[in-house]
Chain A
């Protein structure tokens, strides 16, 4: 199906998932204007948001199945399988977050249905970020996403930590956006276009000009902040720790997928010809993130902070896959993102379930003996930890294996060794969680028997854990889809350059 993105109807069809989700976001906002009190209205807003995300996912699947491709170029948005795969991951993160939040908000007494409006609008921003073929659309998507997530981080209004998280995220996020915008301005200055394809065609003609290199540096710094890569990670622990746990899960998954999708497109597409310039920089960021994230995670007293540092380490693994800049590398990024999204959502969901009065305090000690009282919760937590570690039999292993494959295939042996060593170190903080749940005696004052897992939460978590294990044993569909999507990204880039040169 070829779509003419120069016409109004074509753009509407090409942006159908985003349009549907925006309409639902506005419907929820209108709903919230009148129905604003109590648990019933909160649930109503949540379920309408869920329907909106499912409708958006249906529209996305429709575009994906019918192989929507642009008829001409350059355009403001892309139509390729890479965008569809990233958007599907974002919507999965959004759907799971809605389901996990319903019970959480009721339990914590956060009875403000605006939560779901912000969640839907943040997802819209992420979809635009993943689907942008123009730096203006990219920046717009980034801001729509970020502004909504800043507010979500501070949604627990009674908690000083939540307010701290929101303020830190806002100030540093605004700073990072400024860097990115400056980079975009420099790329525009060097090429005369904000289109990723046209700028890429201009950089293809010769060596990277100084202004283009500066633009690349600023863009990398901006994205480095957004994906929480070291040395731009300083905000991550406090923000992830202070935000309400489902929001932390959403930040760790949705924001990361959207930012990585856009970063991949910018690096591989626009700066594809300047690989020699950005490969060492991205490699350094990857190594810093892996080393700092894993080593500091070892020393964290609570599980939530530990997961925050581990998310920095995972950003490092993903950047390591990007270093290759090859089709296999992009495939590895997608497979790893799938593994990371499912595992992180389940891990933060379980953490929200475990933390009855303040999930910030869930530590190794407080989950001692969990397996005896709540065997299913303990089993799910163990599967998540093993998948994050990259243990064979889980999807996390497949992701790491793909990353190593792409690194070794391109001769990046040193980075491959660092990935393996970093994973080894991460066993030092993932495995104690399992040991504590299964091998330590229950504390006298433990309250494991009071854990309540509502039906939507249990269903979401069970499905996520099941997918982690099933796709870990039988990864062919995930790998094949990722491979086709990565190939489609490169085809789209070639077509984009062709259109730009004509």
Chain B
């Protein structure tokens, strides 16, 4: 059994060795002149404005969560669609099952819509 995993172990060792080599080499060979810009979190990006620990409106989280629900729905549909062609004998059942799944999500969607979670104001 260990033989089966040898490729993975070799890959893992190579990755670790490579990482140590690159970081170690740049640490040893580079010149270090620390300036304020260089030690900033995003050296070549936007200048940092204020603290990141601010309160965000709960609406952002709501939209993010709703997005995940429907994103996952799509994720489930792709293997279903791929299998639909192959499983010839049970297409009717597959269709009903997907309709049940989408139907349950639709009821959730109706709830979210009616309760106003999709309105920004």
Chain A residues in the interface with B (C-beta under 8 A): 8, 22, 26, 29-30, 32-34, 36
Q: Are B108 and A29 in contact (CB under 8 A)?
A: yes
Nearest CB of B to A117, in Å:
9
Question: B39 at the A/B interface (Cβ < 8 Å)?
Answer: no
Q: Are A29 and B107 in contact (CB under 8 A)?
A: yes
Of B23-31, B51-59, B109-117, the one with at least 4 CB within 8 A of chain A: B109-117
Nearest CB of A to B66, in Å:
15
Q: Report the separation of the CA atoms of residues A177 and B104 in the bound assembly, to the nearest whole angstrom.
A: 24
Q: Report the separation of the CA atoms of residues A124 and B108 in the bound assembly, to the nearest whole angstrom.
A: 16
List chain B residues, Cβ under 8 A from A26.
104, 107
Q: Report the separation of the CA atoms of residues A26 and B108 in the bound assembly, to the nearest whole angstrom.
A: 8
The closest CB in chain A to the CB of B103 belongs to A26
A-B interface, 7 closest residue pairs, ranked by CB to CB distance from nearest: A33-B114, A33-B111, A26-B107, A8-B93, A29-B111, A33-B110, A29-B107
List chain A residues, Cβ under 8 A from B110.
30, 33
Q: Report the separation of the CA atoms of residues A36 and B112 in the bound assembly, to the nearest whole angstrom.
A: 13
Q: Report the separation of the CA atoms of residues A22 and B115 in the bound assembly, to the nearest whole angstrom.
A: 21
Q: Are A33 and B93 in contact (CB under 8 A)?
A: no
Q: Are B107 and A30 in contact (CB under 8 A)?
A: yes
Q: Report the separation of the CA atoms of residues A34 and B96 in the bound assembly, to the nearest whole angstrom.
A: 28
The closest CB in chain A to the CB of B108 belongs to A29
Q: Are A33 and B104 in contact (CB under 8 A)?
A: no
Pairs across A and B, CB under 8 Å, 11 listed: A8-B93, A8-B96, A22-B104, A26-B107, A29-B107, A29-B108, A29-B111, A30-B107, A30-B110, A30-B111, A33-B111
Out of A8, A22, A32, which one reaches B111, CB within 8 Å?
Answer: A32
Report B85-114 residues with CB < 8 Å from chain A CB.
93, 96, 104, 107-108, 110-111, 113-114
Q: Are B115 and A36 in contact (CB under 8 A)?
A: yes
Chain B residues in the interface with A (C-beta under 8 A): 93, 96, 104, 107-108, 110-111, 113-115
List chain B residues, Cβ under 8 A from A22.
104
Q: Report the separation of the CA atoms of residues A36 and B110 in the bound assembly, to the nearest whole angstrom.
A: 14
List chain A residues, Cβ under 8 A from B108.
29
The closest CB in chain A to the CB of B92 belongs to A8
Q: How many A-B residue pairs have CB under 8 A?
A: 19
List chain B residues, Cβ under 8 A from A30.
107, 110-111
Out of B93, B104, B107, B114, which one reaches A34, CB within 8 Å?
Answer: B114
Given contacts A26-B104, A29-B108, A33-B111, 16 further A-B contacts (CB under 8 A): A8-B93, A8-B96, A22-B104, A26-B107, A29-B107, A29-B111, A30-B107, A30-B110, A30-B111, A32-B111, A33-B110, A33-B113, A33-B114, A33-B115, A34-B114, A36-B115
Q: Report the separation of the CA atoms of residues A34 and B110 in the bound assembly, to the nearest whole angstrom.
A: 10
List chain B residues, Cβ under 8 A from A8.
93, 96
Q: Report the separation of the CA atoms of residues A8 and B114 in the bound assembly, to the nearest whole angstrom.
A: 33
Nearest CB of A to B34, in Å:
38
The closest CB in chain A to the CB of B93 belongs to A8
Q: Report the separation of the CA atoms of residues A8 and B113 in the bound assembly, to the nearest whole angstrom.
A: 32
List chain A residues, Cβ under 8 A from B96.
8
Nearest CB of B to A147, in Å:
12
The closest CB in chain A to the CB of B97 belongs to A8
List chain A residues, Cβ under 8 A from B111.
29-30, 32-33
Q: Report the separation of the CA atoms of residues A26 and B104 in the bound assembly, to the nearest whole angstrom.
A: 7
Q: Report the separation of the CA atoms of residues A36 and B108 in the bound assembly, to the nearest whole angstrom.
A: 15
The closest CB in chain B to the CB of A33 belongs to B114
Q: Report the separation of the CA atoms of residues A340 and B114 in the bound assembly, to the nearest whole angstrom.
A: 41
Q: Report the separation of the CA atoms of residues A311 and B5 in the bound assembly, to the nearest whole angstrom.
A: 46
The closest CB in chain B to the CB of A27 belongs to B107
List chain A residues, Cβ under 8 A from B93.
8
Q: Report the separation of the CA atoms of residues A33 and B112 in the bound assembly, to the nearest whole angstrom.
A: 8
The closest CB in chain A to the CB of B107 belongs to A26
Q: Report the separation of the CA atoms of residues A154 and B110 in the bound assembly, to the nearest whole angstrom.
A: 24
List chain A residues, Cβ under 8 A from B115.
33, 36
List chain A residues, Cβ under 8 A from B114.
33-34
The closest CB in chain B to the CB of A30 belongs to B107
| Most interface-central of B96, B111, B115 (chain A CB within 10 A) | B111
The closest CB in chain A to the CB of B111 belongs to A33
Nearest CB of B to A354, in Å:
34
Q: Report the separation of the CA atoms of residues A185 and B114 in the bound assembly, to the nearest whole angstrom.
A: 40
List chain B residues, Cβ under 8 A from A32.
111
Q: Report the separation of the CA atoms of residues A30 and B93 in the bound assembly, to the nearest whole angstrom.
A: 26
Q: Report the separation of the CA atoms of residues A22 and B111 in the bound assembly, to the nearest whole angstrom.
A: 16
Nearest CB of B to A332, in Å:
39
Q: Report the separation of the CA atoms of residues A26 and B111 in the bound assembly, to the nearest whole angstrom.
A: 10
Q: Report the separation of the CA atoms of residues A468 and B96 in the bound assembly, to the nearest whole angstrom.
A: 46
Q: Report the separation of the CA atoms of residues A29 and B106 in the bound assembly, to the nearest whole angstrom.
A: 11
Nearest CB of A to B108, in Å:
7
Nearest CB of B to A42, in Å:
15
Nearest CB of B to A13, in Å:
15
Nearest CB of A to B67, in Å:
18
The closest CB in chain B to the CB of A29 belongs to B111
List chain B residues, Cβ under 8 A from A29.
107-108, 111
The closest CB in chain A to the CB of B114 belongs to A33
Nearest CB of B to A411, in Å:
39
Nearest CB of B to A158, in Å:
16
Nearest CB of B to A233, in Å:
30
Nearest CB of B to A65, in Å:
28
List chain A residues, Cβ under 8 A from B113.
33
Q: Report the separation of the CA atoms of residues A30 and B96 in the bound assembly, to the nearest whole angstrom.
A: 21
Nearest CB of A to B113, in Å:
8
Nearest CB of B to A161, in Å:
21
